[in-house]
Amino acid sequence: MARNTTERRSASSKPRVRTSISEGQNFPDVRETSENGDILTADEYFKIVRKSNTRPALWKWRDVERSLGELGKDPIREAERRFCTLVNSDCQELTGATPYCFIGIQLIHPGEVVPAHRHNSMAIYHMLQGRGFSVVEGVKYHWEKGDTLACPAWAYHEHVAEGDEDTIMYVVQDMPMLAAGRMLFWEEPMGQENIRHMVVGTSPSWSVTRTDAP
Amino acid sequence: MARNTTERRSASSKPRVRTSISEGQNFPDVRETSENGDILTADEYFKIVRKSNTRPALWKWRDVERSLGELGKDPIREAERRFCTLVNSDCQELTGATPYCFIGIQLIHPGEVVPAHRHNSMAIYHMLQGRGFSVVEGVKYHWEKGDTLACPAWAYHEHVAEGDEDTIMYVVQDMPMLAAGRMLFWEEPMGQENIRHMVVGTSPSWSVTRTDAP
Amino acid sequence: MARNTTERRSASSKPRVRTSISEGQNFPDVRETSENGDILTADEYFKIVRKSNTRPALWKWRDVERSLGELGKDPIREAERRFCTLVNSDCQELTGATPYCFIGIQLIHPGEVVPAHRHNSMAIYHMLQGRGFSVVEGVKYHWEKGDTLACPAWAYHEHVAEGDEDTIMYVVQDMPMLAAGRMLFWEEPMGQENIRHMVVGTSPSWSVTRTDAP
Amino acid sequence: MARNTTERRSASSKPRVRTSISEGQNFPDVRETSENGDILTADEYFKIVRKSNTRPALWKWRDVERSLGELGKDPIREAERRFCTLVNSDCQELTGATPYCFIGIQLIHPGEVVPAHRHNSMAIYHMLQGRGFSVVEGVKYHWEKGDTLACPAWAYHEHVAEGDEDTIMYVVQDMPMLAAGRMLFWEEPMGQENIRHMVVGTSPSWSVTRTDAP
């Protein structure tokens, strides 16, 4: 093989960037095939591609309130939200209220801040109670009970509860779809160096600033 | 070409079903290529595949209420829901609060029924006000303010408002994603014969039972 | 509860359609909550929403050819395709070459017909070998080695192999994404009465015309 | 508003990270609502959410070959691939062969390297011609005509063509779905500092290392 990449690159006046994984390296791990690459017949495939139907699910507010009551006793942690989430266990691997949709109920005490962060799942916040503001991409949005705020994918957002009442947000995200597709990204706290690909084994945890994070 | 399909099929003891569009037909419309099949270079493609960023959007409850007030004056129509929807116009062709997510606010007066129907977009209902029940796939789910009901894709569902207060539901669907992917289905009223593929030109309208439907 | 639906409907001049599941029925199955509706804390949720990373997978042509060779000995069955599919077993529940993408290699002997059918997963066919034509929504498209045919979601399509050589198609679909989202539809053979929602328990099998179908 | 965040944080023994956009800042841009937040009635919405049906598309190999022939005259550029892509113009904003699927045909001359990079769209490579290897996440996969390699989302990958023949790859990605959802990420060349969110206005171009990039 005549690799002429070195010659071509040295002619460039731009500072050299490392663009090759393979150049000048030994690869102890060479594959002609892969153990996880299955070849199935149509008969075999049609038995597994269909999934079991999911039943409807109903979550009562009194149960959500009880969960929020417990969560509200602890201080809000920096790199994690204080919320509970509604999961239809029939969806199995796709952990949402429906296969691809996350529903969370978030509690913020007056004066508390949900620290700025971003992710490439979109987020929609419907305010069930309280008042305050969110800063999304540098713009301050005031909200009160009944308002809806849509936060686009990968927009920095921070929530601040004001007034005397707890703020309760009804939160919609497409996180389960992105997580199952292995395409979910998270940045928290703010900073290019904190961008993480959310798969097990690559990102140590959701909670980078916690001392007890796994 | 030696088509032996007729021979093979006649050997079958099962009643014959029509499985071929082409058999015994003349096709005046024969194509060697197609006018809508473009071939773009990487340079051309990378200019159009990225989309403009969408700004956050904030919807005030007082504006939603005003819209619901207008909608509530008319009787609920059989084949259509009485709701308003929050659309971020920055998403352009992807008509949702975010590119792939629909948010609707649905109003049901006491005693009214949202007729049974189904679609392959999932639906999540958070009850902002009122009480009543939904019948989903033959099971009756009672709900009141604060409860959440998840209705799986393609489950028959019907909502009935009870009590003295208007029922207001906050509704989440992945309809924009399915609609844009041309994979959305609707059945209304109930009946296999009413299953429609929701694309312009194929389904005359969302409202099959309305006399003024386009 | 004052149900005035009967009164309202009788005023209509249109023939009455059944729009209510609940009217005049007894529901033995009434729920105040549901066993499959979990409420998880953020800590509990973040442990399960992230999935394990998937490894790359490599499938060798010689292995695909061996599988096709076996499949090619049997006659093509009416309600099923003669293909093998490449599945990365690391994707677990999401049964594709990647979590949301199906890759199939389809074999059609000269003179054979893959019967007309449709599904709301899209299908892209790249012709690796052979020549013939497809009829898609009533238009006949001639193809030969190297050509690509894109079949939109829910378009009727039928393939006919011509010439002396076996036709081999490289097939791309988004079937795993639709199947896992419980939003996949199939119609085969042609006919509104054959539209099926592809979840276990609802559709008996992919193969409606086979006597040995489960 | 009583912001007690400063007090709470100072009690922490961990080094302080910047977690707030709003703290100590003036926001000239304060919103009570947003110009891009529309509220539509059901009647208005159902007119726009359905999309026009897309026609099938057929791309002839001779046309692809002509395009590749032109592209092959130039040297491969570091931060960009030498490929052409099949776009069904009926899909409009969703720039793919189908609304959510990208098909590309990539040409690599013997000895050339497609530099290492990654993206959160998955990539499937079917080898139409040639032989060589790919390095994916540090593992070397040898391939030849007919083989298929699946590269998971966000896996580093680099392709090297060997032998005497041009390598031609048939490439499948879900790029259009991620791009339209504003959730697409790219890293090229390798390095955390090069991770970009692929929306217009945020990422200057696909081609960071080109001097003539817009």
Alpha helices in chain A (DSSP H): 5-10, 42-49, 61-71, 175-180
For every residue of D66-122, DSSP letters joined together read: HHHHHHTTSPPPTTS--EEEEEEGGGTTS-SSBTTBEEEEEEE-TT-EEEEEEESS-
Sort out which chain B residues have CB atoms less than 8 A from C163's CB and list them.
Answer: 1
Q: Does pLDDT of D213 surpass 50? A: no
Q: Does pLDDT of A79 surpass 70? A: no
- Tell me if B149 and A56 make a contact (CB, 8 A cut-off): yes
- Tell me if A3 and D113 make a contact (CB, 8 A cut-off): yes
- Please report the ipTM that was assigned to this predicted complex: 0.87
Mutate to test the interface with D, among B27, B33, B38 (most CBs of D within 10 A): B38
> What are the pLDDT digits (tens) for D159-199?
999 999 999 999 999 999 999 999 999 998 899 999 999 99
Q: In b/e form, how buried is each residue of A10-22, taking b as 16+ CB within 10 angstroms?
A: eeeeeeebebbbb
For C150, which of D98, D153, D157 is closest by C-beta distance?
D98
- Tell me if D49 and B203 make a contact (CB, 8 A cut-off): no
For A137, which of B56, B59, B147 is closest by C-beta distance?
B56
Answer whether B85's CB lies under 8 Å from B98's CB.
Answer: no
Three-state DSSP class for residue C105: strand
> For position B89, what pLDDT does the model report?
97
For B58, which of D33, D175, D202 is closest by C-beta distance?
D33
> What are the pLDDT digits (tens) for B65-94?
999 999 998 877 654 678 999 999 999 999
DSSP bridge partners of A143: A132
Q: Where are the beta strands (DSSP E) in B63-130?
A: 83-88, 102-108, 113-119, 123-129
If one counts every other C-beta atom within 10 angstroms of the C-beta of residue C39, the result is: 18
Mutate to test the interface with D, among C120, C133, C144, C172 (most CBs of D within 10 A): C172
- Tell me if D56 and C148 make a contact (CB, 8 A cut-off): no
pLDDT tens digit at each of 214 positions of chain B: 333 333 333 333 444 445 566 666 666 578 888 899 999 999 899 889 999 999 999 999 999 999 999 999 887 765 467 899 999 999 999 999 999 999 999 999 999 999 899 999 999 999 999 999 999 999 999 999 999 999 999 999 999 999 999 999 999 999 999 999 999 999 988 999 999 999 987 655 455 434 344 4
User: Which segments of chain C have a pLDDT < 50?
Assistant: 1-17, 79, 205, 208-214
Minimum Cα–Cα distance from D53: chain C residue: C152
Quote the mean pLDDT of chain D.
Answer: 85
Share of chain D above pLDDT 70, in %: 78
In this prediction the pTM is 0.89
For C3, which of B21, B111, B150 is closest by C-beta distance?
B111
- Tell me if D20 and A197 make a contact (CB, 8 A cut-off): no
> What are the pLDDT digits (tens) for A102-143?
999 999 999 999 999 999 999 999 999 999 999 999 999 999
C197 burial via Cβ count (<10 Å: 0-12, 13-18, 19+): buried
CA distance A85 to chain D (A): 23
Minimum Cα–Cα distance from D127: chain C residue: C61
**pLDDT, average across residues A85-101:** 97
